[in-house]
Chain A
Amino acid sequence: MYSVSETWLDLVSQDGHRFEVSVVIGESGRLITKAGARITFGGDGILVSQGGAEGGYRGSQIISLRTSLAEFAQEGPGVGACISAELELTMLRPAGEIPRMAVVRPYVRVTDGETYSEWIPQGVFYIDTRSYTKNEDGLDLMTLHCFDAMLMTEQFYPTTTHPWPMTDTAVVQEIADTLGVTVDPRTWEVMNDGVQIPLPASYTMREVLGYIGGMYVGNWVLTYDGQLLLIALDALPAETNYLVDTYGNVLVFGGDRILV
């Protein structure tokens, strides 16, 4: 479960709450008003560096957004896989050019109309294909099909100069560095055998990750933050029956969950 604030939990426990979506495309955002309206200059949006969710495309521009996340490579439980998440976005065609393989970051927040939660990310994707159509009203639409950075592991393991063999954790860190991502700290809790890995010459990073994942009977995914995460097949939390509210959120008493 992605870590959320008390505000989020409060809001989702209330009737009448709703979710809002923002999609940031590219490394830059657009300058907008507090209400989310785009501030233009001569008709064009004003780009700002490192735009966050606040500067993303919002509901009025987004026709549909769908993400697919999976842990297994096949229809059924398995291990040793590196699964890329997918995103399909259809929206009003934005002005300006979107660079090739531009990054696409969807965000979600919850609100009751007055109070807004923080934006939580829903992944870091990269454009694979794009298409342009018109809807029945004649509006220009753009559809993007994207994958996350796991697809980039289909490259040979990078050339290295340090001695081999190396520990599996060092190999994973080297792959993450090559991909430009960080490793989710929960991964290190799973990888605790200190396995020595020989020089993986002529193997792709995906193969190397898969082999290491297989040793820990797990699979690799990228988290909502875009961090590399190894999920062990057997790592389900123990089944519990906690007291929950109408929306299923666990009720706490003095900071402790209440078992029933």
Chain B
Amino acid sequence: MSEYTINSLSRRYGKLDVSPQLSGYSGIRVDPGDGSDPFLVGTESGRVITVTNPWMTQAQAERALAKLEGFAYQPFSAVDALLSPAAELGDGVVLNGLYSGLYAIERDYNALMAAGIRAPQDEEIDHEYPYEPQAERSASRRFSAIESELLFYNDRIEAKVSQTGGNNASFGWSLLSDRFSLFSGSSEVFRVDSNGAKVTGTITATAGAIGPFTINANNSKAIQYNGCTYGGNRTGLYLGSSGLQLGAANSSHLQCSMKGDVVAHNMKLTGSLKFVDGNGVERSMNANSLRAGAAHGNSYGTATSSSSPPSYPTYFTAKYLYATENLGAKYVDVEQRLTCGFLTVGGRGAGWMKMSYNGSNYWIMNGGYAS
């Protein structure tokens, strides 16, 4: 540091070990120390010194390199050097024609004031044939593939564990003043902030609550709203191992069992309703037509007996009505076409048949007709 070069040690030391002078510095590698990639200023043609610094800019690194570039470090070690107690770290020193600096001083305050002085050298870095003992190599395999870091910044704390090698992976967290996040690689998979928690990916839980919905409360194996149970009289939602229920069972509700039995108070279909018999024959009903193998009572299906339907529905109302077997009803209103093999009007009791054509009504009744 000082302008002082100590020329006094030319022959005044016990033992001198000198290593070859290192090549001059040609570059500075700046490691921001925050997990981002280091950057290099200068070249790697000579020695490169690493500076860990989160604030160092490219321009600052270039200014630093301008000062350091070409400086060649001269390692040495001398013991029992009769060095003046006034010598400081950073002074230059000449030892038997070798010029270097005082980078380490260990002094015994005895009669001679002998000191060990050094320009230390990391011997490892200049091995021309790098050799790693088996134990170190084994340890490297076990531990070097995993790196972990805990970083403190002005505005956040971060931790990350990285696995390097063939199966790169990393996972970490970041704590800021307004949120906490978990990262898989560079993707945020979990965030907690003042609005709540946000998960990107799969959630697996054995029980809990999301808003008004409980999940597997009391081992119910169900998602429930308002404590609704299957078959229970508490209005709400039940979706679980017994089936689905909306509403209270003793009131207007919708229920679908695990066997497919559906109970509904009212149903509005905007598409079609299909029926499939045991033979796989499919019939359907929609807003404009009703197709059935037979129709009797309040259900639709294949009649087992064409002569004695158990009861009649009140109305069949459709644009088209097709019946391949008996169709019994108290009133049948067909807007356009009625297709059947036989048409019996009145059934077992007195009845009328009304036909409308071109705005006029015609009535056929027992014993006559009217218009």
Contacts and interface: CB of A to CB of B under 8 A. Distances in A.
A is bound by B:
yes
Interface stretch (A32-40, A129-137, A146-154, A246-254): A246-254
Nearest to A18: B111
Nearest to A239: B99
Contact of B52 (A65, A67, A80, A224): A80
Interface in B56-73: 56, 60, 63-64, 67-68, 71, 73
Contacts of A80: 51-53
A234 interface: yes
Nearest to A19: B113
A247 B119 CA distance: 22
B64 A244 contact: no
Nearest to A108: B85
Nearest to B63: A193
Contact of A1 (B63, B88, B120): B88
Determine chain B's interface SS by DSSP, over half rule: loop
Interface residues of B, number: 60
B7 A248 contact: yes
B54 interface: yes
From A72, A229, A247, name the one whose CB has the most chain B CB atoms within 10 angstroms. A72
Contacts of A65: 108-109
Size range of the chain A interface in the assembly: 35 or more
Given A247-B8, A250-B7, A75 B108 contact: no
B86 A236 contact: no
Interface of B: 1-10, 12, 22, 28, 49-56, 60, 63-64, 67-68, 71, 73, 84-92, 94, 99-101, 103-111, 113, 119-123, 125, 152-154
- 9 interchain residue pairs of minimum CB distance: A248-B8, A76-B122, A1-B4, A214-B51, A65-B109, A2-B86, A234-B71, A231-B90, A108-B85
Given A66-B109, A70-B104, A75-B121, 10 more contacts: A1-B4, A64-B110, A67-B106, A72-B120, A77-B73, A231-B89, A234-B68, A239-B99, A248-B12, A250-B7
